[in-house]
Amino acid sequence: MAERLAASLLPAAASASPSARRATVAAAASFPSSCSARAAGLRLRSSRPAGRFSKAAAGRRGGGGALRVVRCMAASDAAELKSAREDIKDLLKTTYCHPILVRLGWHDSGTYDKNIEEWPQRGGADGSLRFEPELNHGANAGLINALKLIQPIKDRYPSITYADLFQLASATAIEEAGGPKIPMKYGRVDVTAPEQCPPEGRLPDAGPRDPAEHLREVFYRMGLDDKEIVALSGAHTLGRARPDRSGWGKPETKYTKDGPGEPGGQSWTVEWLKFDNSYFKDMKFLSQLPSEEQKEQDLLVLPTDAALFEDPSFKVYAEKYAEDQEAFFKDYAEAHAKLSNLGAKFDPPEGFSLDDDTSDGPADEKKEEAAAALEPVVAAVSTATSDDNNGAAPQPEPFVAAKYSYGKRELSDSMKQKIRAEYEGFGGSPDKPMQSNYFLNIMILIAGLAFLTSLVGN
């Protein structure tokens, strides 16, 4: 069953190019033969022992039975990341999966331990969440559904890593829900085997004995402080808790019974697909109610939510964010970006930003845009051959294609102005085509006929 699950997520590669087949093999490696999944009460198990296929394949290649590891790309391609971002936006519009994509990115990076220097033992944003051992952690229940949603995008863009894709999806979901622009950077390297997954128990628990102390224990281990803990908690403005996954919340409420998306669960806010500061406003009110009355409400309050208004240090920030959404957005964007980088190994080491890259269009549109940018030049050259500029033939600078092709998505403003000036130098304008010199055309026609007549006579 696990093999059939992987086959349903990955495209057929029998007739694909060598590079496409390599990308498919790398993607297939992320679904080990022992992969199991819990989704809507369904548990999928492998029908054969884990690693059997890999060892057999290694033996056939003369590896003496040693496990052969298929490595993913070390760094992501910026153009493919931008195209993937557009696909994620389309996915969000049709599936309303903002909350689970945020959770996917957070749970991949939230295993980081600042006290461990070695990568990948330290955990963090390294794409390990795609492997069975980590997917089966109790805190990750239901995230197989997020992986199913995101896998087709990974298949379309094999030159991006899972680590980058998970964080791209998380940040895009926040922004598309109305949240702040997050200053992300990319170039995360993927781990390559299930053995590199972090141990269970590094993610926060919703109902610990001492909620405030538990939050500090988990987030301080990541290198985050009280302000960042409270700001990141504000992401609960999105999504719902489902008792069949986390053990928390009601099966449904008046705010969730009709969806959008899959109905059910209990949300923290009324508009649970809108990112704003309503979480802090609602928690401030609900935290003042007795615990029994809180349980009767249609909005969810976890012990860790109530702690934000009970702990003196947390309360300073929670009160501030309830009153000032702009301050919340600013602090949240910084905290989210920091969380997304935890434990990551970057290639290049400094990473790169999609906003700094001038080639910000999707990869499959570059050629069309470059051709469109050169259309005025082609029109100017072709039209100029029929115009003698009042009897004096112009001597324009020769057009050299390499001069205008420098690897960017579109021409710079200065270059566009230069091209336009050359076009107008021939007598053209953006509003009307250049007029032909009819007298010259007739003279050329007569000369051509005379030449043909002389040839026939000879």
Q: Which residues are catalytic?
A: 107
Nearest to 79 by CA among 357, 404, 411: 357
Question: Which two structure tokens, joined as six digits, stand for 181?
Answer: 């622009």
Neighbouring C-alpha atoms within 13 Å toward the C-beta of 139: 19
State the Cα torsion 104-109-111-112 to the nearest 10°.
Answer: 180
Residues ≥6 apart with Cβ < 8 Å to 375 = none
Helix (H, G, I), strand (E, B) or coil at 186: strand
Q: Is the separation of the CB atoms in 81 and 354 below 8 Å?
A: yes
Nearest to 261 by CA among 141, 102, 140, 99: 99
The dihedral built from the CA positions of residue 185, 187, 190 and 196, taken in this order, carries a sign that is: negative
CB 47, CB 1: distance < 8 Å: yes
CA atoms of 25 and 13, how far apart (whole Å): 9
Angle, alpha carbons 434-436-442 (nearest 5°)? 175
Per the CB < 8 A criterion, the answer to whether 79 and 165 are in contact is no
Distances (CA, A) of 298 to 237, 269, 270, 294, 335: 14, 9, 9, 9, 29
Burial class (CB in 10 A: 0-12, 13-18, 19+), 340: buried
Which single residue is written with the structure tokens 């208004």? 309
Distance CA 237, CA 279 (A): 5
E strand residue ranges, 196-241 = 240-241
**DSSP secondary structure string, 9-42?**
HS---TTS-HHHHHHHHHHHHTS-TT--EEETTE
Q: H-helix or E-strand containing 43?
A: strand 42-44
